[in-house]
Amino acid sequence: MRGQADAPIELVIAIIIMVTSMGMAFYVINESSENKCLATLKTQTQLLQEAILDVGLGSSGTKKTVRFSMPRCGDQTIVGIQFVKYNSAELCRKCPGHYAGCWQIVPLADTKDGLTRIPEAITCIELPAERVTILQDELTSGRCSPLSETPCPDGSQECLEQLGITSNIYTPRTTGPSNWVTLGNQESRHFLITFNKVLSVGDVTGHTQIKMCALPVGTRTN
């Protein structure tokens, strides 16, 4: 009789252990999947950096094209990517050795708390920031995605507040402490991004202009 009485208790304990183990297993799987996704995103920003570096060090007319996709990593949906030039060393702590400013490639994600940057996937562009400008390729703007000259894909004040970007980091319509080229707010989540080195007419200072064209591929799916 006692054995029969103990059996339901043992069954309940076994069920609790099984449910706990399954919960932990699902957590580990999800965590591993998210980390793998973020690592892939980091690889993508590094490939963008390598393309920009090759173009910047190449001769005028040098072009490189890279495929870039905006994945969903856990509860973070990548919705944009910033190419930001910080004009002071104080803002370049992620880029050691860049004392006169730096260019960074920064993915943006939409989360339940709003828009945020993905620090794990930020990549520094290994070119002297004071000698490089990245801008929209106006010659192909009719077929390429428009690029924002603000930190936000849609240029909104709400976005600036969510990202914590204040006036000591960004001031609209000035050279100020930073310059931005931001891709996002598009139907497509996949792009072919082409960088093209152009010669600045009359420029004898060695300044490099890199024109950027982001060609959408496919359609956004949820």
Instruction: Please tell me the predicted confidence (pLDDT) of residue 139.
Output: 64
158: left (phi over 0), alpha (psi -120 to 50) or beta: alpha
pLDDT at 220 over 50: no
pLDDT at 26 over 80: no
Contact 65, 90 (CB under 8 A): no
Instruction: Please tell me the predicted confidence (pLDDT) of residue 125.
Output: 96
**DSSP secondary structure string, the chain?**
-HHHHHHHHHHHHHHHHHHHHHHHHHHHHHHHHHHHHHHHHHHHHHHHHHHHHHHHHS-TT-EEEEEEE--EETTEEEEEEEEEEESSGGG-TTSTT--S-EEEEEEEEEETTEEEE-GGG-EEE-S-GGGEEEEE-GGGTTTSPP-BSSSSTT--HHHHHHHT--TTT--TTS-SSEEEEEEES-S-SEEEEEEEEEPPTT--S--EEEEEEEEEES----
Rounded to two decimals, what is the model's pTM?
A: 0.81
Strands 132-136 vs 208-217: parallel, antiparallel or unpaired: parallel
Backbone angles phi, psi at 89, to 5 degrees: -65, -25
Instruction: Please tell me the predicted confidence (pLDDT) of residue 222.
Output: 41
Higher pLDDT, 53 or 10: 53
Q: What is the pLDDT of residues 68-112, one digit of tens each?
A: 999 999 899 999 999 999 998 888 988 988 888 999 999 999 999
Q: Which of 183, 213, 180, 218 is nearest to 66 (CA)?
A: 213
Instruction: Please tell me the predicted confidence (pLDDT) of residue 138.
Output: 76
Mean predicted lDDT score pLDDT of the chain: 84
Instruction: Please tell me the predicted confidence (pLDDT) of residue 221.
Output: 41
Kindly state the percentage of the chain with pLDDT values over 90.
48
pLDDT at 141 over 80: no
